[in-house]
């Protein structure tokens, strides 16, 4: 009887364990399926109302009752007159691009541009605040293409640079109908860079053979571990020069007033210097410009947020660490091209 009791307890524990495992696996599968169909969220903030709320808070603290009452009455009268008007007011849509080396903000930008272009007309305006020191050629090429969509749609595009729009960042900024820069914002760096070490002599020293098989004469020009040839170096440099030529051509297309040969040296300029070089059209911050627009139009800040999947949330710390390591490796050791 004791043996039967122990066996029954063992079966009960085994059954419980199997059920728990089944439930956990089912829950994970359900969450994965659910996350596949989840969409991001588009948030829209009317900056006119945001500023008005802050102003009213300040007025309530500073003004006396009679002055506050008169001001509120005047504001209500203006609002009522505006509501009666049948003419649609001008609209300004504000987007933000805070770029890293991979232009990760591209995923949000493409959704924001798509949404805004469904409503915006040539009477409206799109303002993009660009902050980026550049990065991978293909990533920033696609990011720039999102702003090209705005230009091709005939909607006025204003690009604001408060801190830096260099290299790939300037490739995006130059597309603007107007480029506004803060006094000490960094613009320019119209050039291409690639760097990598070579460990071939280290491997030879330790009697390590390295083999790399390719099909196509220039499938791999420079390598980390193989023995690089002068022919490979020349081809790699030729590729860099070709990318630079495309970069200069792109900037010249959207900034015809710019002397590209003078500024396409890889140098950077601060805001006031950039204005002299025609890299920018006006010295002002995005805050100044948007505050001015709030008094002239209906201003909306649009931001697309991609919902993170469960597994992404659980591994966010590890992913960030690995990502930094990979980027460091890519920028230092791979023959990746960067704006």
CA torsion 100-106-107-113 (nearest 10°) is: 150
Catalytic site residue 167? yes
Q: Show the CA angle centred on residue 70, arms to residues 65 and 75, nearest 5°.
A: 125
Looking at residue 158, the DSSP 8-state letter turns out to be E
Q: Among residues 65, 84, 219, 261, which one is catalytic? A: 219
Q: Among residues 132, 167, 189, 286, which one is catalytic? A: 167
Catalytic site residue 219? yes
DSSP secondary structure of 89-133: PPEEEEEEEE--TT-TTHHHHHHHHHHHHTT--TTSEEEEEEEB-
> What counts of helices (H) and strands (E) characterise the chain?
13, 10
Residue 94: phi and psi, rounded to 5, are: -105, 125
Residue 175: phi and psi, rounded to 5, are: -75, -20
- The alpha carbon dihedral of 153, 154, 158, 159 has a sign of positive
Looking at residue 193, the DSSP 8-state letter turns out to be B
Looking at residue 219, the DSSP 8-state letter turns out to be S
Looking at residue 315, the DSSP 8-state letter turns out to be T
| CB-count burial class (<10 Å; 0-12, 13-18, 19+) for 128 | buried
Residues noted as catalytic:
167, 219
């Amino acid at each position: 009887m004791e043996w039967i009791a122990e066996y029954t307890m063992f079966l009960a524990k085994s059954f419980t364990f199997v059920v728990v495992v089944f439930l956990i696996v089912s829950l994970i599968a359900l969450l994965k399926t659910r996350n596949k169909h989840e969409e991001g969220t588009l948030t829209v903030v009317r900056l006119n109302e945001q500023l008005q709320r802050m102003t009213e808070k300040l007025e309530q603290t500073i003004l006396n009752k009679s002055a506050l009452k008169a001001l509120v009455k005047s504001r209500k009268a203006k609002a009522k007159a505006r509501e009666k008007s049948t003419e649609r007011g001008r609209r300004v849509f504000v987007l933000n691009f805070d770029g890293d080396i991979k232009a990760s903000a591209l995923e949000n930008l493409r959704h924001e541009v798509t949404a805004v272009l469904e409503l915006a007309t040539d009477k409206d305006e799109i303002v993009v605040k660009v902050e980026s020191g550049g990065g991978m050629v293909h990533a920033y090429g696609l990011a720039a293409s999102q702003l090209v969509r705005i230009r091709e749609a005939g909607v006025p595009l204003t690009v604001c640079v408060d801190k830096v729009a260099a290299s790939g960042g300037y490739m995006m900024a130059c597309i603007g109908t107007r480029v506004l820069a803060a006094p000490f914002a960094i613009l320019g760096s119209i050039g291409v860079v690639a760097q990598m070490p070579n460990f071939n002599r280290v491997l030879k020293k330790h009697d390590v053979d390295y083999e790399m098989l390719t099909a196509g004469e220039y499938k791999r020009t420079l390598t980390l571990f193989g023995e690089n040839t002068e022919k490979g170096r020349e081809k790699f440099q030729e590729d860099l020069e070709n990318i630079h030529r495309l970069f200069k051509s792109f900037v010249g297309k959207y900034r015809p007033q710019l002397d590209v040969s003078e500024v396409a040296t890889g140098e950077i300029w601060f805001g006031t210097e950039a204005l002299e070089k025609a890299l920018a059209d006006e010295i002002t911050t995005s805050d100044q410009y948007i505050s001015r627009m709030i008094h002239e139009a209906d201003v909306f800040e649009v931001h697309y947020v991609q919902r993170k999947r469960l597994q992404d949330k659980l591994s966010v710390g590890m992913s960030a660490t690995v990502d930094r390591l990979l980027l460091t490796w890519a920028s230092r050791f791979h023959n990746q091209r960067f704006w």
